[in-house]
Every structure is written in structure tokens, then in C-alpha cells.
Amino acid sequence: MFTWCDNRDPPNTIWKRLDRLVYNSQWFDQFGGTTITHLSRSCSDHALLLITCKKENTDYISYFKFLNIWVEHDDFLRLVQQNRSGLVIGDPLFILYQKLKRVCKSLSTWSRRAFGDINEEPKRLETTIRKLEENSFNNNNPSNRMNLSRAKADYTKFLKLQDSVLRQKARVKWLQEGDANIAFFHGTLKNKRKRLTIQKIKDINGDWVEGNKDVGDVVVKFYEHLFSPKNTTEDHNVLEVVRRSITDEDNVGLNADPTLLEIKDNVFSLDSDSAPGPDGLNGKFYQAAWNIIADDLYREVVCFFQESPQEFKHFRPIKLCNVSSKIIARLIKVLPNIISPNQSGFVKGRAISDNIFLAQEIITDIAKPKKGISPTTGIH
């Protein structure tokens, strides 16, 4: 949305976004649901900004997310083994899904019991330490000193846990290990939550809609219209000019069952801090629990290569796939050859940011003065 215009006639018109709202973390804590409406430029060459201040809607569903700190606990593998060993009847894909579903449910309950509330526990320990320091000052006996040392050790442990969890949720990969950056991580999480929240949006008629329910209805109607049947003409003759990308050797490799070693190599090549799938499990879980889930995961992968999908629910965009499905995608080594080079995401060796950098370079070059050789003088 441009907020300023110099009002010159085309093609010399200049549009810029000059007017913005700048806020700090304290403002975000108080008015996280703040929205801005750009009004018309009726009396000025700048558009007025109508700021609506309101508190953030905290009514949201909390989904299960695997925390990497769990793998360091002595009971983690035992808990995974207990919930994996139950009998499940069905095809290998269904069996693995049901077993992991039980594991996730048990981990969620176990975490509250084993770690407590990592956000509130440091606050409680701070109060306890202050009281123990007063007791040690009045009576510096061995018992009081031991209690104080134990409380400080617990406090340090929870601070490290808190830092590890926030670091994982913030997913700031450029930040190296070092001093605690709890305030920085909190700010990063707030900004991510702000960007992922749709406060208001225009419907198909161009009218602004606010509120979770109304915004959700607009989203549903948009995609219903987008994917509704349309009168189209299909010409399959265009396929004759598409060059062949899969060789006979590729076909042999696609029909061959992967080995357990290939699957293991792909599992341990995953980024342990990558975003989890819809089931909440990330690469760290598969790596830490490999010895327990290897057989079930192997049967699922082999089943995928041996059987064709039977229902539409077996298809979904890779962004909505669990980590187990992304492991399968890594085993299909012909994907980089058949996926267009313009598709830079979700392909090994390519990055989503590539197209962004390319677009920025093109825009920058377009804005530069054109230089060349004069056809008459031969001078630059």
C-alpha cells in the first residue's frame, strides 16, 4: 500500500510508502491486535493512517510441538518404547501414524510432570532463593547453605531449558551459542506471531472483514471459488513437445525398494531444528528415537514405494507433510531433474530465498541508469 504520491501525470508519477507505524515490545504487549487502515489522500499527498488500538486475541488452539530438550531426559526413550510397542492393525502407514500419535500424547503429559512450567518455575525459584539467602544471612549453617545451592542449581537449569525452548521456537539459525538471549527470543516469537496473524482482510467484494470467524469464512469462500469446477478446454497434444525427463535407469531406481541404510542416512541428514510437520514431530525426534522406530519407519517407506495411493487423503502439499513423508521425498532422487528450476523451495540444493534475491537484483538493475555505446559517437 503506497501512502504518498507526487501527483504528477503518468508516466512520471511516483508512488512511495513513506508513512508507517513504529512500535516497541511494550506496545505490542498491551495492544497486540493493533491494526492500520490507509485512508484516501483527499487533502494531502500523504494518505492518513487510521490506527485502531486493541488487545490481541489470545483465544487460540495450542498444538503439540516436540521440544528438543526432551531427548536429554533419562525417561525419554523408555516412554517412546512403551507407547510404540502397542498392537495396531492396518497398513504400515496407518500403523506408524497411530503409534506416533500415542507417543505425542504421552510426551505432552509427561513433559508437564517431568519439567513443569519452564516459564513460571524460574519466577518461583527466584522468590525461593531470596528467602533462602535471608535465612543463610541470619543462620549460615550447612543445611541452609545446601538448600541455597540446590535452589540456585535448579534456577540455572530452568534458565537453560527456557533458553533452549525459546531458541528452538524462534528458529534463529544465524545466532551462535553463547549468552542467554531470552528477551531477544521473546521478541522474535512475538514478531512471528504478529506476521502470522490476519487481523483483517478484504473479501471478494472488496469490503474489509475483521474477527477470526469472519476472516475464516472469507478464506473458505475464496478457496471454494478458486478450486470450483470451471469450463476449460484440455488439449493433450501439448504434452508431445514436453521432453522426457525420466530415463529407463531412473525408472529402475524408482521401482527398487530403498534399504534401511538409505533411510537412516536421510533421517540423520535432516536439520534437527527444522520446522515440525502437522503431527508436531521434527527431525530431532526421528534421530533420537531411531533405534526404536526404525522398523516401523522402514515398513512405511517400503509400503509407499510398493503401493499406489488409493484415496485423495494420501495426497497433500509437501508443506503439510509430516517428517516421515519428507524422508520419502528425499529418497526420490529424480525430483531435482523433473521439477522446474523456477521452483526453488523444498528441493535439495535449492533455497526459497533464491528467487527473492533474484527479484531484488532485477529491480535494482532496472533502477540503475542505462549505460551503453552511442551508435553515432561510439562513446559510453
Nearest 5°: CA angle at 345, between 342 and 347?
95
In a domain, 37, yes or no: yes
- Number of structural domains in the chain: 1
- Count of Cβ atoms closer than 10 Å to residue 112 Cβ: 9
In a domain, 28, yes or no: yes
Range of the domain at 35: 1-56
- Counted residue by residue, the chain has a size of 380
In a domain, 2, yes or no: yes
319 Cβ contact partners less than 8 Å away, ≥ 6 residues apart: 346
**CB-based contact 185:172 (threshold 8 Å):** yes
Q: For position 174, what pLDDT does the model report?
A: 46
All three cell numbers of 60, joined, read 487460540
In a domain, 281, yes or no: no
- How far apart, in whole angstroms, are the C-alpha atoms of residue 347 and residue 281? 20
Per-residue pLDDT of the chain (380 residues; tens, 9 = 90+): 788 888 888 888 888 888 888 888 778 778 877 888 888 777 788 888 888 887 776 566 677 888 888 888 889 999 999 888 878 888 888 888 889 999 999 998 998 888 877 777 778 888 888 888 888 778 878 888 888 888 888 888 777 777 777 777 666 554 554 445 556 655 666 666 666 677 788 888 888 888 778 888 888 888 888 877 777 777 778 778 877 778 888 888 878 888 899 899 989 988 887 778 788 888 899 999 999 999 999 998 888 887 766 666 666 555 567 888 778 877 777 777 777 777 777 676 777 778 888 888 888 887 776 665 555 544 44
- How far apart, in whole angstroms, are the C-alpha atoms of residue 138 and residue 125? 20
In a domain, 10, yes or no: yes
In a domain, 41, yes or no: yes
Q: For position 310, what pLDDT does the model report?
A: 65
Half-sphere exposure of 354 (CA within 13 A, CB side): 12
In a domain, 20, yes or no: yes
In a domain, 33, yes or no: yes
| Residue type present at position 59 | D
DSSP, collapsed to helix, strand or coil, labels residue 159 as: helix
